[in-house]
Amino acid sequence: MTRATAVAHPNIALVKYWGKADQRLNLPATGSLSLTLDIFPTTTTVELTNDPMDRVMLDGVELSGDESARVRSVLDLVRERAGTGTHALVTSTNTVPTAAGLASSAAAFAALAKASSAAYGLSLSDAELSRLARRGSGSACRSIFGGLVRWNKGTSDETSVAERLEWQGEPLAMVVSVISSARKKIGSRAGMNHTVTTSPYFEGWVSSNNALVERASSAVERADFTSLGEIAEMSALRMHASMLGAEPPLRYLTSRSFAIFDAVQELREDGLEAYASADAGPNVKILCRSREASLVAHALRERIEDVKMHVSNSGPGAYLLDEGERPSAA
């Protein structure tokens, strides 16, 4: 095959990844656990070409500099394995507001790993795809899988890999609030490196969050939604605490974000179980039961003005599109 198209969805971490143990291999300082969404997919086509270099198009615009270098570094790993030097045209379409803390890089690099390995004729297992996606962006290793996913931090390229977790409880949903879809001022990578090097709270974050991964995994095994939600809210706030301790401080949450955290707490007090989380941006993601998701979104719209709410259920892992379904790579 010389051309392949893959679709992948973003994932939202319930137990967060923040900080690297190894920058080159993208090994995280802590494990994490996420839910893959069924909204905001990224579709990526990789086509081998006779060009003297790779070209990367994102939403119709050619990428250059660091952004295209990250894509090329994943293609290089695939080429090394396939034993070829042939270059490629990568055409990607994002449906998530880029760089707004809505995990667009996770879907992008999961789709790239899936499409590029197929285009270069490799037949990789999901674990191998997860490791490959991780090299492009850490959180992308989780978007190879659908549903609830655990990223084992590992200590090497082979052992730092995600796996799907079985969930026997009621179906889960995530209400994604969009306060701002503006490009964030400090990207995740720079933000986490800044936290690692300057925050006195980083060590406490790492040890406490590794413990939360174990507690969350056990909550998943017991299908204990309440514990999972409580742990998710804690992990998000502890991650933001580590950033707030950095020098200079790194603050992604705004007063609007905290207003949503307050509203979510009110919903719980009213008997509607929901838990708030936030990533490297102001937008708050709310974990709830699927059957109550529209109620949660409605209740939040009533309490918070001018915030868009997207309801997502648990989504699929990265998959290839059949020949007939492929958009043409312009």
Interface positions with ligand 2P0 (CB under 6 A):
13, 16-18, 26, 32, 103, 105, 137-139, 188-189, 279-280
Considering beta carbons, is residue 92 or 188 the nearer one to ligand 2P0? 188
Q: Least Å distance between CB 228 and ligand 2P0?
A: 15
Considering beta carbons, is residue 139 or 312 the nearer one to ligand 2P0? 139
Q: Least Å distance between CB 48 and ligand 2P0?
A: 26
Considering beta carbons, is residue 18 or 40 the nearer one to ligand 2P0? 18
The secondary structure of 168-179 as a DSSP string is: -SSPEEEEEEES
Q: Least Å distance between CB 294 and ligand 2P0?
A: 25
The secondary structure of 9-77 as a DSSP string is: --EEEEE----EEETTTTEESS-EEEEEBSSS-EEEEEEE-SSSS-EEEETTEE--HHHHHHHHHHHHH
What is the chain's Cα-based Rg? 19
Considering beta carbons, is residue 92 or 139 the nearer one to ligand 2P0? 139
Q: Least Å distance between CB 83 and ligand 2P0?
A: 27
Residue with tokens 């992008």: 108
61-62 and 42-48 strand pairing:
unpaired
Q: Least Å distance between CB 293 and ligand 2P0?
A: 20
Query: 59-75 in b/e burial notation, b at 16+ Cβ within 10 A?
Result: eeeebeeeebebbbebb
Contact assessment for residue 169 and residue 32, using Cβ atoms and an 8 Å cutoff: no
Considering beta carbons, is residue 30 or 43 the nearer one to ligand 2P0? 30
Considering beta carbons, is residue 193 or 290 the nearer one to ligand 2P0? 193
Helix axes 104-119, 65-82, angle to 10 degrees: 30
Considering beta carbons, is residue 28 or 41 the nearer one to ligand 2P0? 28
Q: Give the three-class secondary structure for 237.
A: helix
Contact assessment for residue 169 and residue 148, using Cβ atoms and an 8 Å cutoff: no
Considering beta carbons, is residue 55 or 142 the nearer one to ligand 2P0? 142
Query: 286-320 in b/e burial notation, b at 16+ Cβ within 10 A?
Result: bbbbeebbeebbebbbeebeebebbbbebbbbbeb
Considering beta carbons, is residue 189 or 268 the nearer one to ligand 2P0? 189
| Position of minimal CB gap to ligand 2P0 | 138
Q: Least Å distance between CB 86 and ligand 2P0?
A: 26
How far apart CA 33 and CA 216 sit, in angstroms, is 8
Q: Least Å distance between CB 20 and ligand 2P0?
A: 7
55-58 and 88-94 strand pairing:
parallel
Catalogue the E-assigned strands of the chain: 3-8, 11-15, 20-22, 27-28, 32-36, 42-48, 55-58, 61-62, 88-94, 148-152, 161-165, 172-178, 274-278, 284-289, 308-313, 319-320
Q: Least Å distance between CB 51 and ligand 2P0?
A: 26
Q: Least Å distance between CB 314 and ligand 2P0?
A: 16
Contact assessment for residue 303 and residue 284, using Cβ atoms and an 8 Å cutoff: no
